[in-house]
Amino acid sequence: MNQITVTLPDGSTRSFESGITPYDVALDIGERLAQDVVCAKIDGVISDLSISLRKDVSLALFDGRSPEGHDVLLHSTAHLMAQAVMSLYPDVQITIGPTIENGFFYDFDFPQEFSEEDLEKIEAKMKELAKSAYNVSRKELSAKEASDYFNKMGQKYKVEIVDSIDPKETISLYSQGDFTDLCRGPHVPNTSKIKYFKLLSTSGAYWRGDEKNKMLQRIYGTVFAKKKDLKKHLHLLEEAKKRDHRKLGKELELFTFDEEVGPGLPLWLPNGTVLVDALEDLAKEVERKAGYERVRTPHLSKGLLYEKSGHLAHYRDSMYPAMDVDGNEYFVKPMNCPHHHKIYDAVPKSYRDLPVRYAEYGTCYRYEKSGQLFGLMRVRSMQMNDAHIYCTSEQFKREFLAVCKMYLDYFEIFGIEKYQMRLSLHDPKALGEKYVDDAKLWLETEQAVREALDEGGLNYVEIPGEAAFYGPKIDVQVWSAIGKEFTLATNQVDFAIPERFGLTYTDEEGNEQTPLCIHRAPLSTHERFIGFLIEHYGGNFPLWLAPVQLMIIPISDKYLEYAEEVCLALKSEGFRAKTNKRSDKVGAKIRQAELSKINVMLIVGEKELQDRTVSVRRRFEGDKGMQTLETVISELTEEVKDRRPSHSQES
């Protein structure tokens, strides 16, 4: 009998008879591991546990809590759900069921809409099927055989998928009980491995994501290897629902959408406008200190400008259609860059003028398909924390590092603890087609970006082959206080555009040179960033951002006049204060202010009136006792000036 050597991730080796499976290896290592393991990685390829090993291999084994194992568990649960749906509704047409972050879905073609009750029924059926402990087996067929099989089963979507695959390819099917699905795998070895799952919601989805195709029904679900992980995740989903920016945006009167204005065009209500203004003040202050100059540009431009910038060639589908003005094509602007390039070009530059940094909260309009619109996160009009930095290649690293540091400063102000930057690099093999054809410039710039990120102490991963055509880019992902992920902004280096716009500066020898350009927008757009902040803070904004900072609460109507006096004094110091003039009981007024998430309550009655003081009550902190108005004003002024985080956040 042949012997094979299995090398494990820790470098240790074990010898087995040829034909052994990864599951056997797990058993050999320990009973416990064999119980938990759900998939294997054989020579770098994720595989089933039942594959026969017939040569020396490197082998890693994964349980359902590892990212690899969790993905297999999620996808296996999608199969289990399809099995349950088919057994309950035999006429259903099954389509595809991929995994998503911490979840899975499966799309079904079924005439009648799946209700809450149906979901419960399906989930119960899944439990039953999982307990039946079906082995999950893989079978390989030719494309023709697979097509015939699904034809016989009457599963036309599966036939369509198989028929779109190269007929020379081998096709794999996975079966459990009487259910068979087309799948690359791998899968858990037995349905009994699937224990802690939950179906979450349904939605409509077009077949292959194309509006011209039939609308299918999508069911979302999730699964975890441990009960406590499922519980934690479901709690997080609950919390996320409570913090949904669309829900809080309405409750706190921050923004609205109106059918007659148009979808994807947010209207900022007074409370939301406070957030917008506070962010702009912050950006202006930070950018002024960092040596930026502010510029302003119109919302409309001739098509010629976007021809030059390449937007019309590459970006037209995301732009609003042209309008005819005096026989010229005009567009509303999808980006601010070309305008800033024109501003750079308006006055001749020498090396002494560089770096030049132009900043603008620029308004842009982008055509997003109506099905893609989502609250403030995907909109059609947006104001961007935009800036363009023009510099020499010697200045590049320092400028880039300064931008990185600015990100970190902002993260600190907003209490963003978890973030990651994805540095997208070029692919040397695609120079000239996918990427500007200048190998040296790419390597130098990428190295400078890398060094800047390292020196700045930023957390990043490198992704080869995903750079923009004209330079490396950085995508910034942040996680909210409850761990929800958002992609905030993109930071890009641009080799191509300055040349295309004929931007130059005169160097020390009097020669014309082309500057590099950095596009950056750390605070993203108002829409996206405020959407993020609403969910991050759960609507409990720190004092400097809060739409209403103080509520003055008179104990009874008798003290209304004094309350108004206090309110006026605060307003004249620049605070956003209101007086509760209703004749409710004081307890009710306090509850009202708490519900409106107001940071500071000042309660006034006889004692306060006599002593010319106020009783301070802070959200999350409770009573702070009686203080003079001067003390309150000077303390709160400091708090706002320093943009301090909320004293304690509800979590």
Q: Which residues bind Zn ion (CB under 5 A)?
A: 183, 337, 519
Considering the complex, state which of residue 104 and residue 541 has its C-beta at the smaller distance from Zn ion.
Answer: 104
Considering the complex, state which of residue 147 and residue 336 has its C-beta at the smaller distance from Zn ion.
Answer: 336
Considering the complex, state which of residue 519 and residue 589 has its C-beta at the smaller distance from Zn ion.
Answer: 519
Residue 386 CB, nearest approach to Zn ion (Å) = 6
| CB 29 within 8 Å of CB 19 | no
Considering the complex, state which of residue 183 and residue 389 has its C-beta at the smaller distance from Zn ion.
Answer: 183
Residue 175 CB, nearest approach to Zn ion (Å) = 11
Considering the complex, state which of residue 275 and residue 337 has its C-beta at the smaller distance from Zn ion.
Answer: 337
Cα 75 to Cα 106: distance, rounded to the nearest angstrom: 10
| CB 359 within 8 Å of CB 295 | yes
Residue 424 CB, nearest approach to Zn ion (Å) = 16
Considering the complex, state which of residue 243 and residue 473 has its C-beta at the smaller distance from Zn ion.
Answer: 473
Nearest residue to Zn ion, by Cβ distance, number only: 183
User: What's the gap between Cα 85 and its chain centre?
Assistant: 31
Cα 600 to Cα 617: distance, rounded to the nearest angstrom: 6
Residue 9 CB, nearest approach to Zn ion (Å) = 25
| H/E element, 358 | strand 356-365
Backbone angles phi, psi at 634, to 5 degrees: -70, -35
Residue 569 CB, nearest approach to Zn ion (Å) = 45
Residue 337 CB, nearest approach to Zn ion (Å) = 3
Residue type, 644: R
Considering the complex, state which of residue 519 and residue 597 has its C-beta at the smaller distance from Zn ion.
Answer: 519
Question: What 8-state DSSP symbol labels residue 318?
Answer: G
Question: What 8-state DSSP symbol labels residue 548?
Answer: S
Find tokens 């400028």 and name the residue: 399
Q: Coil, strand, or helix at residue 280?
A: helix
Residue 519 CB, nearest approach to Zn ion (Å) = 3
Considering the complex, state which of residue 364 and residue 552 has its C-beta at the smaller distance from Zn ion.
Answer: 364
Rounded to the nearest 5 degrees, what angle is found at the Cα of 357, between the Cα atoms of 353 and 363? Answer: 145
The candidate with the shortest Cα–Cα distance to 587, out of 601, 597, 573, is 601
Residue 181 CB, nearest approach to Zn ion (Å) = 6
Task: List, as one string, the DSSP characters of 70-120.
Answer: HHHHHHHHHHHHHHHHHHH-TTPEE----EETTEEEEEEE-SS---HHHHH
Q: At what angle do helices 116-131 and 67-88 cross, to 10 degrees?
A: 110
Cα 468 to Cα 453: distance, rounded to the nearest angstrom: 18
| CB 246 within 8 Å of CB 252 | no
Residue 380 CB, nearest approach to Zn ion (Å) = 19
Considering the complex, state which of residue 380 and residue 519 has its C-beta at the smaller distance from Zn ion.
Answer: 519
Residue 217 CB, nearest approach to Zn ion (Å) = 19
Considering the complex, state which of residue 518 and residue 550 has its C-beta at the smaller distance from Zn ion.
Answer: 518
Considering the complex, state which of residue 156 and residue 184 has its C-beta at the smaller distance from Zn ion.
Answer: 184
Residue 403 CB, nearest approach to Zn ion (Å) = 13
Q: Coil, strand, or helix at residue 249?
A: helix
Residue 79 CB, nearest approach to Zn ion (Å) = 5
Considering the complex, state which of residue 385 and residue 646 has its C-beta at the smaller distance from Zn ion.
Answer: 385
Percentage helix, strand, coil for the chain under 3-state DSSP, each rounded to 5: 40, 30, 30
| H/E element, 63 | strand 57-63
Q: How far apart are the first and last CA of the chain?
A: 61
Task: List, as one string, the DSSP characters of 131-187.
Answer: HTTPBPEEEEEEHHHHHHHHHHHT-HHHHHHHHTS-TTSEEEEEEETTEEEE-----
Cα 26 to Cα 81: distance, rounded to the nearest angstrom: 28
Residue type, 18: S
